[in-house]
Amino acid sequence: MATAFITHSDCYRHEMGRGHPERPERLAAIEDQLVASGLEAHLQRHEAPLATDEQLARVHPIEYVRAIRQVAPQAGTVHLDPDTAMNPYSLDAALRATGAAVLATDLVMGGKSASAFCSVRPPGHHACRARPMGFCIFNNVAVAARHAIHAHGAARVAIVDFDVHHGNGTEDIFEHDAQVLMVSIFQHPFYPYSGTENPAPNMVNVPLAAGAGSQQFRQAVTRHWLPALQKFKPELVIFSAGFDAHAEDDMAMLRFADPDYAWVTAQVKQATDPHTRGRVVSALEGGYALSALGRSVVQHIRVLAGLGG
Ligand SMILES: [Zn+2]
């Protein structure tokens, strides 16, 4: 069984203004490195479908989904928050990004793909139940997790978030939801300044100080994530795969290196494979240094595809 790679041209047309770091070139940088590394030949490509209201409404109030549809502009740019904007293509891009995560879940839970990576934008992990935020409109991984539970009968889903920012939206959606475990690392104190005050028991949040580096990251994963994942016994793992903790990324200061992304993917798989039977979905979140993003995604997908680190 191959690893699926899911994307859509609509995700290239969503633009939030000149100089915005969350830009279409990010997806092109990933494509470049897939070809340069030879990984391309091992992947099965799929076009992302549009997420449906039924799928979105498992996470977001339908009024919120309607409000986003309503505010989407026919021309020009509309700002949803100081960092998040929509152009005339953004609604479809957001629906494709979430639809990719749903298709990934269908392929993996249905036994058609061993694992799946969604190369999509906008990202999703800051999107709360009823609030867009931090470049995010719909919470892609959250919709995928609920889809796994409701459409495929998964009893337990683990969300693994290694983006440099805390996935406050995912926490908002799942705190105290016993069917979902979220493990995360993030730079702290840093945007969005959440994740450290009384997290719910199903949230394993590990804040790291600026400058932490590979060693502290690996220690945090080994000490905090892996025991929690082993205890939880998830039937599906979903990565919130952000690559903005990389040392070359100016967005933040955690200073991870390319091999850390292969390492963490392998560690999480090893801890969960007995229960997931290898079922892993991954969706792109952040990552703004183009070359480092492309290389790190290759490291991550190589392990998903069983090709080693
Ligand atoms: Zn981020």
What distance in angstroms lies between residue 247's CA and the mean position of ligand 1's atoms?
A: 13
Q: What is the pLDDT of residue 223?
A: 98
Cis peptide before 49 (omega within 30 of 0): no
Q: Give the global pTM.
A: 0.98
Q: How much distance in Å is there from the Cα of 77 to the middle of ligand 1?
A: 22
Q: State the Cα–Cα distance between residues 167 and 185, nearest whole angstrom.
A: 9
pLDDT value at residue 241: 99
pLDDT score, position 309:
56
Give the DSSP letter string of 145-194: HHHHHHHH--S-EEEEE-SSS--HHHHHHHTT-TTEEEEEEEESS-TT--
Distance between Cα 231 and ligand 1 center (Å): 27
**Could you give the 3-state DSSP secondary structure of residue 231?**
helix
Residues with CB under 5 A from ligand 1 (ion): 163, 165, 242, 244, 286
For residue 218, give the amino acid letter.
R
Q: How far is the CA of 69 from the centre of ligand 1 (A)?
A: 25
CB-based burial label for 293 (10 Å; 0-12, 13-18, 19+): buried
Q: In angstroms, what is the span from residue 38 Cα to ligand 1's centroid? A: 27
CA–centroid distance, 134 to ligand 1, in Å, is: 8
Separation of alpha carbons 246 and 46, rounded Å: 28
> What distance in angstroms lies between residue 1's CA and the mean position of ligand 1's atoms?
31
Q: What is the pLDDT tens value at each position of the chain, 309 positions in all? A: 899 999 999 999 999 999 999 999 999 999 999 999 999 999 999 999 999 999 999 999 999 999 999 999 999 999 999 999 999 999 999 999 999 999 999 999 999 999 999 999 999 999 999 999 999 999 999 999 999 999 999 999 999 999 999 999 999 999 999 999 999 999 999 999 999 988 899 999 999 999 999 999 999 999 999 999 999 999 999 999 999 999 999 999 999 999 999 999 999 999 999 999 999 999 999 999 999 999 999 999 999 999 975
CA of 133 to the centre of ligand 1 (A): 12
For ligand 1, the distance from its centroid to the CA atom of residue 256, given in whole angstroms, is: 13
Tell me which residues are annotated as active site. 126
CA dist 103 and 125 (Å) reads 18
| CA distance linking residue 221 with residue 209, whole number of Å | 15
Residue 103's alpha-carbon distances to 122, 186, 191, in angstroms, are 16, 28, 30
Using the mean position of ligand 1's atoms as its centre, give its distance from the Cα of residue 110 in Å.
30
